[in-house]
Amino acid sequence: MGRGGQPKDRQDGPERKCIVTGEVQPKNGLLRFAVGPDNQIFPDLMEKLPGRGIWVSADRAALEKATSKGLFARAARQPVTVPDDLVQQIEDLLAKRVVDLISLARKGGGAVSGYEKVKDWLSKEVALILVQASDGSERGKSKLSTPHYGHFIGWLTADELGRAFGRQTTIHAALGAGGLAQRVVEDAARLKGLRVLDGDAVHRKGK
């Protein structure tokens, strides 16, 4: 898979309809929302909040259209309140989820950081996912290649990736196959929809 590649959709998984595009697609490419008791729209990334779910494609343009065109109220069939910073809330929540998952993988021995360790995992074909900071040196990052049939994540900042490894900053990381790998790939793909514009990762410094 190339650096810009998305994970393969789980075609045998449950599907939902996006309220913006009208397209039916696998849930892992969508974001779920729920209406709270005060009629406020809440992001439900864990997909556990009660009530009928409202689904939107994991894409910044789709989310902005849903918030600006009153599509949440139409889907809920009632007046609702949409936070002004809803899109930013979702981006922050997704980034935290990906960082936390990578951190859990690290604690279980399923992730490493640092150029030499990552290079070693790649050469031994241990790595399934190559993760590189969006604001790292392009020259340095180009020396490592995405694993064959693997995945690339390049839209976390060095600060965010550093938090996953208990460091101030991290540029290179790799994850092996394991229980958390698919979850990292899927949540990172949804985050990509909010952060990557025209093929380039939008730098999020200081977050």
Return the bridge partners of 43, or none: 33
Match 């991290």 to its residue by tokens: 170
Match 């900042």 to its residue by tokens: 157
Return the bridge partners of 165, or none: none
Q: How much is the mean pLDDT over the chain?
A: 89
- What's the pLDDT at 205? 42
pLDDT greater than 80 at residue 204: no
Return the bridge partners of 113, or none: 173
Rounded to the nearest 10 degrees, what angle do helices 60-68 and 86-107 cross at?
140
Match 């990509």 to its residue by tokens: 192
- What's the pLDDT at 201? 55
Domains of the chain are: 15-84 (3.30.1230.10), 89-201 (3.30.1330.30)
Cβ 81 vs Cβ 74: under 8 Å:
no
Q: How far is CA 62 from CA 30, 56, 193, in A?
A: 10, 7, 10
- What's the pLDDT at 6? 42
Render pLDDT for 147-185 as a digit per residue (tens, 0 to 9): 988 999 999 999 999 999 999 999 999 999 987 999 999
Q: CA 125, CA 52: separation in Å to the nearest integer?
A: 43
- Residue 51 in tokens: 């009530």
pLDDT greater than 60 at residue 133: yes
Q: Is residue 2 very low, low, confident or very high in pLDDT (cuts 50, 70, 90)?
A: very low
Residues 6+ apart with CB under 8 A from 77: none
State whether residue 134 is helix, strand or coil. coil
Among 6, 86, 12, 96, smallest CA distance to 46 is for 96
